[in-house]
Amino acid sequence: MALILLTICLSETVPDAEGKPHALFAGLQIGGDGAARLEHIGFFGFMFQSLLMVQIVLLSILGVAERYRTNKFLIYMVSALAFMLLIGWQMFSAHLEYLSSNETGYFLGFPNATAWATYGTWLSAIPLVLIYSLGFRKFIYTKEDEKKFNELLAEKASRQE
């Protein structure tokens, strides 16, 4: 990801890639030519976004003790990652589609690409939330873990006496 960031910073720039002031209204910014803004870095941007999602799932796996990283758990996590990547791709491709056609449908108040970004991104982590909450006693903090921790506390208490 650091390399992608470096590549983006060294890529050919386009005018107003980070927006410009609105011609009529002070305080408003506009994005302008969307296709031009993505011309040199669109692919790298999407790669960065995808790798960020991979990193999020890998970090979540790191938070689970090694002995609980069973095949079943890893299947859940890979499925969660696939769901996140699918939503990311739907958003990115819907954006590209709009840029080429200038037409869009709407979903719950937003243009399709933005609906994917807004509702989709929010929902994309729900599988992780479910794995954590519903799998808490299987993967995160089992009865056995609780017993081990209570033993640690008991040892500490006996040392202090």
Partner 1 sequence: MEEYRQEIIIGAVIVYMVFCVLTGLWAMRRTHSASDFFIAGRGLGPIVVSLAIFSSTLSGFGFVGGPGLVYSIGVSSFWMVVISSIGYAVCFFLVAKRIRMIAELRDCISLPDIVAARYGSEAVRFMIAVTIVLGVMGYLATQILAMALVMQAILSGTEMFADVGLITCVAISSAVLIFYCVTGGIIASVYTDVVQGTIMIVAGFLILVTAANVFDGGMQEATSIILSDDAETIMPYGAAGIMASLGWFFVFGLGLAGQPHIITKLMMNKNISDNRSMLPLSLFGYAMAALLWISIGIVMRAAVLDGVIEPLALPDDAASVFLSVFTNPFLAGIVFAGLFAAIMSTSDAFLNIGTAALIHDIPKAIKGQSVENELFWARIVTVLLAVLSAGFALYSHFQDATLVAILGAFGWGTFAASIFPVVAVGLNWKGASAAGAVTAIASALLINFVSQLAGYTFPYGVSGQLVAFVSSMVLFIGVSLITRKPVLEPDINRVLDI
107-146 residues in contact with partner 1 (CB under 8 A) are: 108-111, 113-114, 116-118, 121-126, 128-129, 132-133, 136-137, 140-141, 145-146
The whole-angstrom separation of Cα 120 and Cα 114 is 9
Burial string for 13-49 (b: 16+ CB within 10 Å, else e) reads eeeebeeeeeeeeeeeeeeeeeeebbebbbebebeeb
- Smallest gap, in angstroms, from Cβ of residue 71 to partner 1? 19
Write the binding mask 31 to 50 for partner 1: x where contact by CB under 8 A, - elsewhere. xxxx--xx--xx--x--xx-
Residue 89's identity, in one-letter code, is W
Binding status of residue 25 toward partner 1 by CB under 8 A: yes
Q: CA torsion angle for 95, 99, 103, 108 (degrees, to 10)?
A: 20
Site for partner 1 in 52-71 (CB under 8 A): 52, 55-56, 59-60, 62-65
Among 54, 74, 86, 153, interactor with partner 1 by CB under 8 A = 153
